[in-house]
């Protein structure tokens, strides 16, 4: 039985951090995924021709949230070992498996990180920056990257352990509590930012305070109407800054 060593798997995991190093219209991150599996090819196959065939199989289309690509890499490493040791005649099941993971990996990663963890960490970082200054930078990096690194490493190990069965773990309901936790932290941090910003605006004069309150009310109305609040907050903030600058210029 030929299997990858712990050191080989560590190299695969490490390469997954660079999976977005090369994009193309044909395979998206397929080239980066193939690059992460090079240690598998070297371990299982000694003939350069067999290594070439291995790499060609994994140069096909693949896409995923970059943080969850390691889940697929771990599972594919396991499956390639089984295919080699059991002398599979057809490697198509591995390709089909990769294709079926594209949707769940993208959905979970986007929902968990882009929609919840990243905004929550950013809001917390802004609040700390407003109140304590530069210490916000390392705190933000810790708050964001602890779950980031955990998801990459845990997913790779779980994928290698389960192989095909990793599909049963790729449901949004398994991540619902983390999603709610991030959303709660983000809401609390945003509320704290509003309190600090209000206090700072009040100390700078009525015109700045009025502009801030106007921007806040516009954002609140958009939330109530289920509009894409992010863009309206930016628009309202720009309007508020223009109004404040105009009032100060006239007063001067």
Domain-located, residue 251: yes
Domain-located, residue 148: no
Of residues 74, 94, 77, 81, the one with CA closest to residue 169: 74
Q: What is the mean pLDDT of residues 82-88?
A: 92
Domain-located, residue 170: no
The reported pLDDT for the residue numbered 130 is 82
Question: With 0-12 CB in 10 A as exposed, 13-18 as middle and 19+ as buried, what is 213?
Answer: middle
Q: What is the mean pLDDT of residues 40-48?
A: 93
The 10s digit of each residue's pLDDT in 51-60 is 999 999 999 8
Residue 199 has pLDDT above 70, yes or no: no
**Which of these three, 99, 122, 137, is where a domain ends?**
99
* pLDDT band with cut points at 50, 70 and 90 for residue 171: confident
Of residues 108, 94, 97, 103, the one with CA closest to residue 151: 108
Asked whether the beta carbons of 179 and 219 are under 8 A apart, the reply is no
Domain-located, residue 194: no
Tokens of 204: 């700078």
CA distances from 152 to 19, 49, 212, 223 (A): 12, 31, 40, 33
Residue 41 has pLDDT above 90, yes or no: yes
Element (H, E) at 242: helix 229-251
Residue 241 has pLDDT above 90, yes or no: no
Domain-located, residue 30: yes
The 10s digit of each residue's pLDDT in 201-231 is 555 555 555 655 666 666 666 656 665 555 5
Domain-located, residue 190: no
Question: With 0-12 CB in 10 A as exposed, 13-18 as middle and 19+ as buried, what is 120?
Answer: buried
The reported pLDDT for the residue numbered 183 is 82
Tally of domains in the chain: 2
Contacts of 130 (CB under 8 A, 6+ apart): 193, 196, 197, 200
What are φ and ψ of residue 69, in 5° steps?
Answer: -65, -30
Which SS3 state, helix, strand or coil, does residue 24 take?
strand
**Which of these three, 68, 99, 130, is where a domain ends?**
99
Element (H, E) at 202: helix 176-202
| Domain of residue 240, residue span | 203-252
Domain-located, residue 133: no
Domain-located, residue 213: yes
Tokens of 164: 């095909």
Q: What average pLDDT does the chain have?
A: 84
**Neighbour count for residue 147 (Cβ, 10 Å):** 19
Tokens of 3: 């299997």
* pLDDT band with cut points at 50, 70 and 90 for residue 6: very high
The reported pLDDT for the residue numbered 23 is 85
Of 174 and 214, the one with more pLDDT: 174
**Which of these three, 42, 67, 99, is where a domain ends?**
99
Distance CA(84)–CA(80), nearest Å, equals 6
The 10s digit of each residue's pLDDT in 91-138 is 999 999 999 999 999 999 999 999 899 988 998 898 888 888 889 999
Element (H, E) at 69: helix 69-85
The reported pLDDT for the residue numbered 98 is 94
């Amino acid at each position: 039985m030929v299997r990858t060593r712990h050191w080989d798997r560590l190299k695969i995991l490490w390469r997954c951090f660079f999976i977005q190093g090369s994009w193309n219209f044909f395979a998206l991150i397929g080239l980066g995924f193939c690059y992460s599996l090079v240690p598998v090819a070297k371990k299982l196959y000694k003939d350069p021709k067999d290594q070439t065939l291995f790499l060609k199989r994994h140069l096909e289309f693949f896409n995923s949230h970059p943080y969850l690509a390691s889940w697929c890499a771990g599972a594919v490493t396991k499956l390639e070992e089984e295919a080699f040791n059991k002398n599979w005649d057809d490697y198509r099941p591995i390709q089909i498996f990769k294709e079926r993971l594209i949707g769940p990996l993208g959905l979970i990663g986007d929902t968990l990180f882009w929609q919840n963890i990243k905004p929550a960490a950013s809001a917390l970082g802004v609040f700390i920056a407003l109140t304590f200054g530069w210490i916000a930078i390392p705190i933000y990096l810790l708050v964001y990257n602890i779950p980031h690194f955990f998801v990459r490493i845990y997913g790779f190990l779980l994928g290698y352990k389960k192989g095909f069965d990793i599909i049963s773990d790729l449901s949004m309901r398994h991540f619902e509590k983390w999603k709610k936790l991030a959303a709660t932290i983000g809401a609390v941090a945003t509320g704290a930012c509003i309190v600090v910003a209000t206090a700072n605006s009040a100390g700078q004069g009525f015109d700045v305070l009025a502009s801030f309150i106007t921007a806040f009310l516009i954002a609140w109305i958009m939330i109530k109407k289920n509009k894409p609040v992010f863009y309206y907050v930016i628009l309202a903030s720009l309007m508020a800054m223009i109004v404040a600058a105009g009032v100060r210029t006239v007063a001067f």
